[in-house]
Amino acid sequence: MPTKYKRILLKLSGEALMGNNSFGIDNGTLAAYAKQICKLAEAGTEIAIVVGGGNIFRGIQGASQGMGRAHSDYMGMLATVINGMALQDALEQEGAEVRLQSAIPMEKICEPYIRRRAIRHLEKGRIVVFGAGTGNPFFTTDTAASLRAIEIEADVVLKGTRVDGVYTADPEKDANAVKYDTISFDDVLKSQLRVMDMTAFTLCQENKLPIIVFNINDPEALGRIVEGEAVGTLVS
Ligand code: UDP
């Protein structure tokens, strides 16, 4: 059966890899994500993943303690490469072929980011993990997700979060918050809802790239989205 999305860009935050811990990588959580992702890959979906680094280090953290922001952001980017290596290993243990590409070249451990090469890997059925964000300080991995998705001509950005979509208010704080099934880019801006940071969000908007926000901890969600079911919130 043909799926709705042929090529996806999945954004996995660093925090998603912590599981119930408050720091680092939880192997069980990682293995569970790897299982879901590999199932999709085996069914023929082309999958690129941008991984965050917030479970290890965020630039803002260092900057708040007096470190230079740019320097500290580079440390954050290195954290995403550590996560990328962990994710690569977990996916490979599930039997997938995986290439890790870093926006900051580190030839001993991964490929440098080369757009055409990334696309070629996807066409061959390999999962591509993008590390080191955009390679530039003062950006986030959400922006890297939007940028890479546009570059590789992904059909959609799938942003996995702890909540199952975009709400009228923060559902973890406001019991009356109502979930949107679909919402336009303009309405997200008008209502000042937080989907991604502004740089990431406007990149998607300007390039007409839909975003789906969904619960990464729902083991069925990813598969259902790719098949075209209305899961999470579609921003388009
Ligand atoms: N970062 C950066 N440029 C990028 C992407 C990331 O400087 O293009 C740094 C930034 O310091 C950020 C850290 O890497 O705080 C980790 O990424 P992020 O906070 O986006 O990870 P997530 O919140 O997804 O875990």
- Reported as a single tens digit per residue, the pLDDT across 11-59 is 999 999 999 999 999 999 999 999 999 999 999 999 999 999 999 999 9
Residue 120 lies in a domain: yes
Position 170 pLDDT exceeds 90: no
Q: What percentage of the chain exceeds 70 in pLDDT? A: 100
Could you read off the pLDDT of 119-129 as tens digits, one per residue? 999 999 999 99
Instruction: Supply the CATH number for residue 133's domain.
Output: 3.40.1160.10
**Burial of residue 95, with CB atoms counted within 10 A of its CB: 0-12 exposed, 13-18 middle, 19 or more buried:** exposed
Predicted pLDDT at 131? 98
Residue 104 lies in a domain: yes
Residue 21 lies in a domain: yes
Residue 1 lies in a domain: no
Residue 211 lies in a domain: yes
CA 24 to chain centre: 17
pTM exceeds 0.95 for this model: yes
**CA-to-CA distance for 113 and 123, rounded, in angstroms?**
16
Distance 41 CA to ligand 1 centre (A): 26
Position 1 pLDDT exceeds 70: no
Position 171 pLDDT exceeds 80: yes
Position 184 pLDDT exceeds 70: yes
Over residues 93-98, mean pLDDT: 98
- What residue numbers bound the domain in which 191 lies? 7-235
Q: How many domains does the chain have?
A: 1
Residue 73 lies in a domain: yes
Task: Please tell me if the CB atom of residue 102 comes closer than 6 angstroms to any atom of ligand 1.
Answer: no
Return the SS3 of 191: coil
Residue 2 lies in a domain: no
**CA-to-CA distance for 5 and 167, rounded, in angstroms?**
24
Task: Please tell me if the CB atom of residue 133 comes closer than 6 angstroms to any atom of ligand 1.
Answer: yes
Mutational pocket test of ligand 1: of 140, 143, 162, 216, the residue with most ligand atoms within 8 Å of the beta carbon: 140
Provide the edge-to-edge strand list for the sheet that holds 182-183.
111-112, 98-102, 127-131, 46-51, 7-12, 156-161, 211-215, 233-235, 182-183
Task: Please tell me if the CB atom of residue 15 comes closer than 6 angstroms to any atom of ligand 1.
Answer: yes
